[in-house]
Amino acid sequence: MKTALTKIIEDMDLPDDAQAQFIEAETCYKVGAYRAALIMSYTGWGLTLRKRILQAKCPNGITEIQWKICQDKSRNDESWDQQIFDLTQAKSDTNKVFCVTDDLRDQVKYWKFRRHDCAHAKQNEISSAHVESFWLFIQSNLGKFVPNGSEEALFVEFHNHFDLSITPSDSPLEPVLNKLINCVPKDNLVAFFKKLEEALHGNIVYIMEQNQAPIFLVLDVALRKNNALLENAISEYIKTENTILRQFLGYYPKHVRILKNDKTFIRNLWYEKDKHAQNYLRIVSSLLRNNMIPPSEQDEAMSRIISNSKIEIPHLDDLKILEESGYIPALEENLFSQIGSGFNWYNARTLLFIWFLKTQSFTKKHVEIICNATSGEYPAFFLQDGLQELFKSEPKIWKRFEEIASYADIKIPKSVQPSTAE
């Protein structure tokens, strides 16, 4: 059975000297030398923080001179242990290195005292439970002790922003994003967004009120800043993450503009890549609105769109641009020229048939095809149910449909007539 320490060694990015201490701590623990195990574990903890301090840039709020002094003390083999502890306890704006809560600072103080109990042979008993508890503390909190202003610290800040037990849901994201712009080199931005998605996923997966992954909210706010560096980085990031691309643009189709300079990718986007995306039709409408589909390709685009978005009806905000681009006649041609198609084909397009009858003028041709599809030995039963609900809720549409059928001597199946739905 793996211990918490085994998971720390396997899963966390530890410096070599710290890992050696943890391995020795586990050996001591297994033979019952719990005081030695706690001392070694505390040293491994401190060495990990020491490495982070020595590798970090100067944190926000601290002068370069102050930071050099901190790092010099952390290098000193005689004083580094006390220096690292002092830095965990610093909390004023002019000397704070770690952005952690007072409760975490108190817990570090507690474990330092227990380490002293072990090192100085004090009377307090140290058992396996103490060692295991300290390992669990490390497992839960080591990732939070990163120098303020570093990329690792930003991951913690983003995480805390979406943790409703720490940050109210209406808190602005801009202050954290501003730190991103200031702290992350432009060449690292794409990699940063990839790591940020991983850091947020699985911890606070969704903001329930909006049912969105936190990374989508981050990307949306970042793109609204109209910062060219962020836009270029996000464009490159989502183009390499197909699932993120589909879902993010599904929620925020207006942001397709950041792809504007990549004509090949844009064509692939509407032609095939996003056909299973949420709000696929909204994404394509935004491409059209931003003149990102050339006029010479729009007829082909409409054909592909209708083929790919068989269960999605047009959004009211997109109707004008879709009409201007030839969507309506292309949709009509698709829906009402498939004579002989099986019931599954009609069932899959139930929403589109309902939308067409509600928003467009229909004729004998439309009524006849719909009646044929919903009658016979294998009727489209989903379409039957959808039509019946439509005719019950929209008497004017039913009246028009019935008049056309009567005039053309077309038999309307009982299964779609509103009078049969009781």
pTM of the predicted model, to two decimals? 0.63
State whether 156 and 212 are in the same domain: yes
**Does residue 167 lie within any of the structural domains?**
yes
Structure tokens belonging to residue 104: 């975490």
Q: Are residues 129 and 160 in the same domain?
A: no
State whether 185 and 223 are in the same domain: yes
Report the sign of the C-alpha dihedral through residues 413, 418, 420, 422, in that order.
positive
Question: In sequence order, what DSSP letters do the residues of 202-217 get, joined into one string?
Answer: TTS--BTTTTB-HHHH
How does residue 170 score in pLDDT terms, banded at 50, 70 and 90? confident
In a domain, 285, yes or no: no
Residue 65 sits in the same domain as residue 156: no
Domain boundary, last residue among 220, 240, 260: 240
Identify which of 228, 227, 198, 229 has the alpha carbon closest to the alpha carbon of residue 215: 198
Of 22-31, 64-73, 136-145, 382-391, which range is least confident? 136-145
Q: How crowded is the C-beta side of 15, counted as CA atoms within 13 Å?
A: 15
pLDDT, tens digit (0-9, with 9 covering 90-100), for 45-66? 999 999 989 988 888 778 899 9
What contacts 24+ positions apart, CB below 8 Å, involve 125-130? 126/34, 126/35, 126/38, 127/34, 128/29, 128/32, 128/34, 130/34, 130/38
Whether 102 and 36 share a structural domain? yes
pLDDT in tens, 174-229: 888 877 876 677 888 999 999 898 888 755 444 544 567 889 999 999 999 888 88
64 and 86 assigned to the same domain? yes
Burial classification of residue 21, based on how many CB atoms lie within 10 Å of its CB (0-12 exposed, 13-18 middle, 19 or more buried): buried
Share of the chain above pLDDT 90, in %: 49
Q: Containing domain of residue 388, as a range?
A: 343-420
Polymer length of the chain: 422
Asked if residue 76 has pLDDT above 80, the reply is yes
The residues, ordered by sequence, that sit 6+ positions from 408 with a Cβ below 8 Å of its Cβ are 364, 367, 368
Same domain, 109 and 13: yes
Is 411 within the bounds of a domain?
yes
Please tell me the total count of domains within the chain: 3
Q: Does residue 227 contact residue 251 with C-beta atoms inside 8 Å?
A: no
CA atoms within 13 A on the CB side of 96: 14
